[in-house]
Structure formats: structure tokens, C-alpha cells
Amino acid sequence: MEVTEAIRNRKSARAFLDKAVSDEVVTEILECARWAPSGANTQPWHVAVLTGETKRQLGDAMAKRRISGEKSRPDYNYYPTKSEEPYISRKYACAHALYSALGIERKDIEKRKMQWIKNYHHFGAPVALLFFIDTILEKGSWVDTGMFIQNVMLAARGHGLETCPQAALAEYPDVARDLLNIPKSKKLICGVALGYADYDDPSYQYRTDREPVESFTQWYR
């Protein structure tokens, strides 16, 4: 797949086929992604690959906490505590597009909740990737890891796979650390669902907008 096509046509998949992804393919994706740039070549990322029973256990444990009403305890704040425009409108439009495609009304709190729970089960994907970073590292290394994660998602497309980056999987980081025996010295950034997308699912029948280049770019000559 040509690079610009992989970038332009990438979208978050929220439904996957019951079709396995081999360890060899996952390794090839990570082999490609590892060439991401990082400050002073520090390569700060750590990846946990979950499949089968371990993946199910993680999903069940996180879903149980959400359903019980337990407050999330992420290692960092993904969103600001107080938002403003244009970010509020963009978030609303994103949610509206998804729930409209699924036929879930705004007032149907229960269906929205159950759709959110699917996050913890990786939307049925056969592989879940969790991305960690050492607590001693600063924001630059988080930027580096973000570039690595983007490489993972683009490399996946080269293998006919789709992904969904998931901040939701970082809501209960201690659950992941305890299950995977990962030390508290590593913060959980996010997860990525990986697999063969179910392109016929209603959740795939929409596309979020992107701002035109001139809205976020200034030229200086």
C-alpha cells in the first residue's frame, strides 16, 4: 500500500472479524514501527502484546470496574480538566457521528454505556497492544512514543489490518500492570486494537472530518 493512501484512508475500526493475526505478522509490524525517530535515539516505548485468554482477562477486569462505577485512575490526564472551543465542538461532532452510525440516540444512556464497554474488549479484535513508558521520562519521550504508535497503525495497514487507538484502555492502568506483571515504574499510555476490520459493521460507516490545511498553518517567508 502506498504511504499517502495508508495515511489518508486510515480510520479507527470499532468492529473486527473473528480471524486470527499470526505472531509473525505482529512481529513484522513492530519490526517496521521500531524505526520511528526518538530524541537521542532513546527509543522509550515498551509494548505488551495480548491475545487469547490474557486479552479476555484484561477486558473482563476493566469492564467490571467500569460497570461497577469505579472511578478511573489513569497515569495521566488525556484531556484537559477544563476544555474550550474549538475542541468541545469537535469532540461532540465525533461522538455524534459514531452514535448516529450505530443508531444510538443521545438520551439512550444504557446503549451508550454498553458501546463504551466494547473498548475494554478491544471491539472484538484478536490482538491488543498496550504501550508503556518509564515514569522517569518527560514529554519529549511521549511525543516519540506517539510517532512509534502511528508507525504501528500504518504498518498494520500494509498487512491488510486495521487498528483503533484506545485511550480507554489506560483508564485502569493498575489492572494491566497487575495482570501482566509490569512494574509501577512504567506508565500506561494507551492501547491499540489490531485485526481484520469488519467493514460492514455500522460503526465503520462514517468518517470524521479534518480541518483544512489553511486553518492550522501559517507561512513565514
Question: pLDDT exceeding 90 applies to what percent of the chain?
Answer: 97
Task: Answer whether residue 82 is part of any domain.
Answer: no
Q: Measure CA of the first residue to CA of the last residue in the chain; give whole Å.
A: 35
Pairing of strands 186-195, 162-166: antiparallel
- Answer yes or no: is pLDDT of 106 > 90: no
Structural domain boundaries, residue 172: 3-76+120-205
CB 187 within 8 A of CB 76: yes
Taking only the tens place, the pLDDT of each residue in 9-25 is 999 999 999 999 999 99
| Grid cell for residue 112 | 451508550
Task: Answer whether residue 58 is part of any domain.
Answer: yes
Closest by alpha carbon to 202, among 18, 12, 11, 15? 15
Residues whose CB falls within 8 Å of the CB of residue 51, separated by 6 or more in sequence, listed in order:
126, 127, 128
Task: Answer whether residue 104 is part of any domain.
Answer: no
CATH number (domain holding residue 37) = 3.40.109.10
* Distance from chain centroid for Cα 91: 16
Taking only the tens place, the pLDDT of each residue in 58-86 is 999 999 999 999 999 999 999 999 999 99
The reported pLDDT for the residue numbered 198 is 97
Taking only the tens place, the pLDDT of each residue in 34-59 is 999 999 999 999 999 999 999 999 99
How many folded domains does the chain comprise? 1
